[in-house]
Chain A
Amino acid sequence: MPKENVAIKSENWRLNSHKDLNDLQKDIIESRDPNRLEVVVCHGTGCIANGSPKVSSAIRESLLGAGINVKLMPGIKTTGCHGFCSRGPLVIVRPHGFFYQRVTPKDAEEIVKKTLMEKQPVERLLYKNPKTGKTILTEKEIPFYSLQERIVLHNIGKVDPTDIKDSIASGGYQALAKALCSMSPEQVVKEVEKSGLRGRGGAGFPTGRKWRSALKAIEKKGYPAYVVVNGDEGDPGAFMDRTIMEGDPHAVLEGLIIGAYAIGAKQGYLYVRAEYPLAIKHLEIAMEQAREYGLLGENILNTGFSFDARINRGAGAFVCGESTALFTSIEGKAGNPRPKYVRSVEEGLWGKPTVLNNVETWANIPLVIEKGADWYSKIGVPKSTGTKVFSLVGKVNNVGLVEVPMGIPLVKIIEDIGGGVIGGENFKAVQTGGPSGGCIPYSLKDTPVDFDSLTKVGSMMGSGGMIVMDKHDCVVDIGRYFLRFLEEESCGKCIPCRLGLIRMRKILDGFSSGTGTKQDIDDLISLSQALQDGALCALGSSAPNPILTTLKYFNNEYLSHIENHKCPAGVCKELITYSINADKCTGCRSCARQCPKQCISGDKKKPHVINTENCIRCGICMETCKFEAVIVS
């Protein structure tokens, strides 16, 4: 257990009632000077990779070196991901709220001098709205943030995830105290049912109904029962759950304890993939601190309710995000899914009644309990209430994490919040729901983003990945990518999934190498049907979704691969040729120098020619050329 961040152990920390918690919250808030300068540095995994730890230590050093003559030393706070990942590392100076983006260690001195000492913003680090060209001072005014509705993420970017006091000060564990001290388990379940909250892991099963059937199963089979957090987020390009676990671990924990109280579970598990070391570290710290404050473990808040949880690390199998595979993995066996004709609320972990919910679902529970089901169900649309966190990635300007109310049109997320596609054109398609989701074309851009509408267009909500594609993305290539991913990640237990995925991928390989036939398309559809019907778990049965949706919406692109042996997006290597536009070529020779096969010839200051016979279509010449003279056809 990491100890460095844990406060001194003392029995006095224990909170024994709701009042104790309120008093502590008040004490913490009162002990803080609201005018104290605070430098908030984003320490999400993305920003860390971008060098934010160096930024924070540079700021610390320049602070010490500057010899500030103010009464109160400015504090440096490291928080979870702010969401605006494409602009990282991010630094916010409170209380003014100056929002600095793409900060490097070199900028530290200027920030300290100008902002902390003179209270002036550093102009060049501020965000500039690319559409209006206006410089924006604070986070709230940036369209990326102002158009979002951050309720699940409300603490992330504000609190230090390794300090429970910070969480408590901003209202953490209030919902738990409310549930434990003034609500019966039945009331808690009713409230969750009433809120209309649906599971955020993909299928969108109503959480309240799940809890209710768990209670029924417990009535029949008796205790023990378990609550489990599914933190095995594996979709390519998705990082919602990671961010929540890293940035606000207490919210997940609080939700889990409330869920345990509702069904009477004594033991919980957090299944987090080992590739998320920071999330695991922060959850471990959070649990340790919660135990010290009497919010986890024996006799929580002196109400007589005891519950403890532990973290299980996943070993990197995508399929372990499937509920039954996750259970077998926790049980210590190979992560193979079990047939689910008896639902896991009845026969889950070790064959006992189990409530398994996604990280984001658990993080929603405190909101439902604290603010009430009526408040919650007003957000979003009637059958999909609340908000959803999406990781917006791909060819979009503002890559990052966004939280929007359910039912918002797709185009609004991409154009308004995401800032549109890089290069300013319309997006070609959006892949929602990860490898099991579907591609939504631009023509359906007004599709409301909620569970049922996405299913209607052949895609799914999934866990919230949103990959934006532009005209340089080939649908056949995308299909190949996802099938290859799933083929590697299939557990191999059932035949349709183990053998079917590789067969489907080989058919697509044929398209991209120009050997496909029209018969192959029919085969692909029929085989997809067999997978949807026959596969044992959702990995196999939802795997054909990207293929079927692209076949539906981009049929012409498939036909062009088959009939004309052309890849319109210029991606499939065997169907494209590179050539040089003589009008644009200046004869600088830089492409010829870079060409690994040395198949570009031509004298200086004269148009060059590519020898297509030797060309391996690596595309380096196109990337090198500054005059856009290299064309692909």
Chain B
Amino acid sequence: MIKFKINDKEVQARSGWTVLETARQYGIEIPTLCFHESVASSGACRLCMVELREENWSKLVASCIYPVSEGINVYTETERVQNVRRWIFEMLLSECPSSKEVKEMAKKYGVFKTRFPVQNPNESCMLCGLCTRVCEEVVGLSAIATLDRGVHKKVGAPFLRPTEVCVACGCCVTICPTNAMRSRIDSVRSNTKMQLAKAA
């Protein structure tokens, strides 16, 4: 067993555990959006940042991927952590304003409104990548992936064209933390035979 401290409280973890797993084991709340037990963590949403403190230095790490080690001092509610969290929530409120889940979680952490203009009021996807990871790791198909990069990044089938690779299992819809995939799945799934029959 590995012993370390979260918020000055002694905790124990098995080797190979992450800080987030340990914290949840002890009922210490750390918000996450891109984390799910059934797929590998990617550390993309950065909401789970925690501060590691030693005597003369401190740094922020993503708790969902940071492996525990003996004697570390983890703090989950420091000023720096809250600063990162607050900005992420504010940016998400303007970027995917139609997501109820994001709104509620932001409220819980004290962010009620955003200073940024809303881009698209119907957007609810925040590109956490859970859908693509579940399609690759659990379903084993990789029918969808993230396309493009930076601010142009989006989720979809290759070239944003419907694909026959998709078996319409619905895993991506189930795992989506903001229900964004529900409206997108139709643009992914395609059945050429059916379409041909229709056309004929």
- The chain A residues found within 8 Å of chain B, CB to CB, are 317, 319, 334, 339, 341-342, 487-496, 498-500, 502-503, 523, 526-527, 529-530, 533-536
Contact = CB atoms under 8 A, between A and B. Distances in A.
A437 B44 CA distance: 24
Given A339-B43, A487-B151, A490-B151, A527 B129 contact: no
A530 B84 contact: yes
26 contacts: A319-B149, A341-B66, A487-B150, A489-B150, A490-B149, A492-B146, A492-B149, A493-B129, A494-B44, A494-B45, A495-B47, A495-B92, A496-B84, A496-B88, A498-B127, A499-B91, A500-B91, A503-B91, A503-B116, A526-B83, A529-B83, A533-B83, A534-B49, A534-B60, A534-B87, A536-B43
Interface of B: 42-47, 49, 60-62, 65-67, 80, 83-84, 86-88, 91-92, 95, 115-116, 126-127, 129, 145-146, 148-153
Contacts of A534: 46, 49, 60, 84, 87-88
A186 B173 CA distance: 54
B151 A492 contact: yes
Contact of B80 (A339, A499, A533): A533
Given A341-B66, A495-B91, 4 more contacts: A341-B65, A494-B43, A498-B127, A502-B151
B74 to A, nearest CB: 13
B33 to A, nearest CB: 9
A341 B19 CA distance: 12
Contacts of B126: 495
Contacts of B151: 487-488, 490, 492, 498-499, 502
A523 B46 contact: no
Contact of B146 (A334, A495, A503, A535): A334
Contacts of A533: 49, 60, 80, 83-84
| The 8 A-B residue pairs with the shortest CB-CB distance in the complex, in nearest-first order | A492-B153, A534-B84, A499-B91, A530-B87, A490-B150, A339-B43, A533-B60, A534-B46
A79 B67 CA distance: 50
Contacts, number: 96
Contacts of B87: 496, 500, 526-527, 530, 534
Given A491-B150, A536-B43, A339 B65 contact: yes
B49 A492 contact: no
A286 to B, nearest CB: 32
Contacts of B46: 494-496, 534-536
Interface of B (DSSP majority class): mixed
B194 to A, nearest CB: 31
Contacts of A526: 83, 87
Contacts of B60: 533-534
Max chain B Cβ within 10 angstroms of own Cβ: one of A488, A502, A533: A533
A315 to B, nearest CB: 11
Interface of A (DSSP majority class): helix
A342 B86 CA distance: 28
Contacts of B129: 493
Given A533-B49, A533-B84, A498 B150 contact: yes
Max chain B Cβ within 10 angstroms of own Cβ: one of A319, A334, A342: A334
Nearest to A333: B145
Max chain B Cβ within 10 angstroms of own Cβ: one of A334, A341, A499, A523: A499
Nearest to A540: B46
Contacts of A492: 127, 146, 148-153
Given A339-B43, A534-B60, A529 B80 contact: yes
A591 B62 CA distance: 58
Given A492-B127, A496-B88, A339 B150 contact: no
A420 B50 CA distance: 47
A500 B47 CA distance: 14
Nearest to B46: A534
A491 B44 CA distance: 11
A526 B45 CA distance: 18
B71 to A, nearest CB: 16
Max chain B Cβ within 10 angstroms of own Cβ: one of A319, A493, A523: A493
A317 B149 CA distance: 9
A491 B86 CA distance: 22
A55 B46 CA distance: 56
Nearest to B126: A495
B149 A495 contact: no
A491 B148 CA distance: 8
Nearest to A489: B150
Contacts of A488: 150-151
Contacts of A341: 61, 65-67
Contacts of B84: 496, 530, 533-534
A137 to B, nearest CB: 51
Nearest to A341: B66
Contacts of B91: 495-496, 499-500, 503
B156 to A, nearest CB: 14
A534 to B, nearest CB: 4
Contacts of B88: 495-496, 499, 530, 534
A495 B45 contact: yes
A452 B185 CA distance: 52
